[in-house]
Amino acid sequence: MRDTEFYKELLGLRDPWRVTKVELDSAAGRVDVWIEDRSGVQWSCPECSKQASVYDHSEERVWRHLNTCQFGTYIHARLPRVRCPEHGVRQVSAPWAEHGSRFTMLYEDWVIDILKECDVTGANHLTGTSWYEAWSVMEKAVERGLSRKEKRIPDYLGIDEKSFAKRHRYETVVCDLKRGTVECVLEDRKQTSLEGYYGQFSKEELKGIKAIAMDMWDPYIAATRARVPGAEEKIVFDRFHVTRYVTDAVDKVRRQEHKILMAKGEECLKGTKHLWLMNEEHIPEWRKEEFDDIRKIKLKTGRAWAIKESLRHFWEYRYPKNAEKYFKRWYFWATHSRLKPMIKAAKTLKSHLSNILTYFKHRITNSVTEGLNSKIQTIKQMACGFRNREHYRKAILFHCGGLDLYARVLSKTGSSLDTTIFSMAHAKV
C-alpha cells in the first residue's frame, strides 16, 4: 500500500477528498499530510446550503492532528471557495476542523480530555501546545457547550457563595441540585447578582422552580423573594449552614471560657477545640475518655455543646409540625442557657424558622453545591488563584457545568458518528 493510500484509510477520507502527498521528517519528529479535493464537485454554500461549483481555492492552511505513532501529524489543505449567487464567494469549511481552528476536531477533543484531567499548564506540557492554545481549546469547549445547552431553569436550585482571589471578593455559584452541575457563576454575592440570573427567565418559567437551597444570606433571600413566585414556600435554608451557626456559637463559648480559666491557671480546655465541634459519634476512640472527663466538670462549654447536639434531633422529624414543636422546646433551652453566643444563634435561627422548616417538605440541602465547591477549590489551586475572573468562571463551567464540550458531532445515541476526521458535509459527489 502506498503512503498516500495508507493515510487516506487512516484518516478515513472519502471522495472527493484524497491524500496527494505524505512527508516524514524523522529529525523533526513530524508527518505532514496534504489533502486535496477532486475537481468537478458541487459544494454547498456555507450560508444557505445552495449548490455551487468551485470558484477557486484559498491559501494553504495547516491543522495539527493526532500523532502518528510518536510523530506530530499535520494536515495541509487548500479549501475550495464557492460563488453563491446570493452570498458571493464563500469558503467551504473543512469537515475535519471548526472554523478558524488550527486543530482538527479529533485533536481538540483529545486536548479537552487532557484538560479534564489536569490544569492548562499540564495540558500544554503534555500536548506541546502553548498555554494560550490549550486555554483557547477550553474556552471554545465551554462556548460550544453553552450554545448546545437547553435553556431551562432547574427544578431544584442550590445557591452558594464562593470567595474569589483574595480580599473578600465573591462569586455566586448557582447549581442544578438534581444534576449536580454548576448552572452559572455570577459576579459578587449581591441581590443584583442573583436577580440577574433569575432575570433570564419568564415569570412562568420561574414558577416551575420547586425549591431553592441557600444560606441565610439576606441578598439571596431578597433576590429570590423579588423574582420567584411563591418564594416563601420554596426557599430552604441549608441545614448544614444552619448547624454551622450553632457550632460557631459553641466555639465562641469555649474561647471565652478558656481565656477565663487560663487566667486562673486552669488548662482543662486546652487542645479540646475540635472535640466540641464534632458530632458525638465522631470523637476518636482514643480521646473519648478525656472528653467524658471534661464533660463531668460543669463547664459552660459542655452546656453549649449539649445544646448543639440536641439540635441534631430536629432534622430527624418527618413532619414540619412536629419539628416546629421540637424547635420551640430547643429554643427555650438555648435562650435560657445564659450563654450569650448560644442565645444569639438561637434567635437567628428563630427569625428564619419558616424557611428552615421548608426542609421537611423539600428535603434538599446544598451538600451537592458543597461537593462542587471542593472541586472549584481544586480548580482555583490548579490555576494559581485565577486572577482573571472570566478565566475562573469558564474553568468552573468546563469542569462542573455538565456541558457537551466536544468538537465532534455526536449521534443521537451519544456515540461519535464517525471515528475518522472526515464527514461528507458540504460536498455532493
Residues that bind Zn ion (CB under 5 A): 45, 47-48, 84, 86-87
Q: Please say which residue, 87 or 102, places its beta carbon nearer to Zn ion.
A: 87
Q: Which residue has the cell 502527498?
A: 21
Q: Please say which residue, 47 or 267, places its beta carbon nearer to Zn ion.
A: 47
CB of 46 to Zn ion, least distance (A): 8
d(CA 280, CA 289) in angstroms, rounded, equals: 12
Residues 6+ apart with CB under 8 A from 341: 248, 249, 250, 252, 253, 256, 304
Give the CB-side neighbour count of residue 354, counting CA atoms within 13 A: 7
How does DSSP classify residue 102?
Answer: S
d(CA 75, CA 93) in angstroms, rounded, equals: 14
Bridge partners, residue 73, by sequence = 31, 65
Name which of 158, 161, 154 is nearest 206 in CA terms.
154
Q: Which residue has the cell 468552573?
A: 396
Q: Please say which residue, 87 or 178, places its beta carbon nearer to Zn ion.
A: 87
Please, are residues 234 and 359 in contact by the beta-carbon 8 Å criterion?
no
d(CA 2, CA 20) in angstroms, rounded, equals: 11
CB of 80 to Zn ion, least distance (A): 14
Cell of 324: 416546629
CB of 45 to Zn ion, least distance (A): 3
Q: Please say which residue, 42 or 243, places its beta carbon nearer to Zn ion.
A: 42
Q: Please say which residue, 52 or 137, places its beta carbon nearer to Zn ion.
A: 52
Dihedrals phi, psi of 34, to nearest 5 degrees = -105, 130
CB of 17 to Zn ion, least distance (A): 22
Three-state secondary structure call for residue 34: strand
Name which of 390, 396, 393 is nearest 376 in CA terms.
396
Q: Please say which residue, 15 or 86, places its beta carbon nearer to Zn ion.
A: 86
Q: Please say which residue, 118 or 425, places its beta carbon nearer to Zn ion.
A: 425
Q: Please say which residue, 52 or 105, places its beta carbon nearer to Zn ion.
A: 52
Beta-carbon count within 10 A of 48 CB: 12
Bridge partners, residue 75, by sequence = 33, 63
CB of 408 to Zn ion, least distance (A): 26
Q: Buried b vs exposed e over 339-373: b needs ≥16 C-beta within 10 Å? A: bebbbebbeebeebbebbbbbbebebbbebbeebb
Please, are residues 410 and 4 in contact by the beta-carbon 8 Å criterion?
no
Q: Please say which residue, 46 or 180, places its beta carbon nearer to Zn ion.
A: 46
CB of 42 to Zn ion, least distance (A): 13
Q: Please say which residue, 87 or 408, places its beta carbon nearer to Zn ion.
A: 87
Please, are residues 104 and 96 in contact by the beta-carbon 8 Å criterion?
yes
CB of 44 to Zn ion, least distance (A): 8
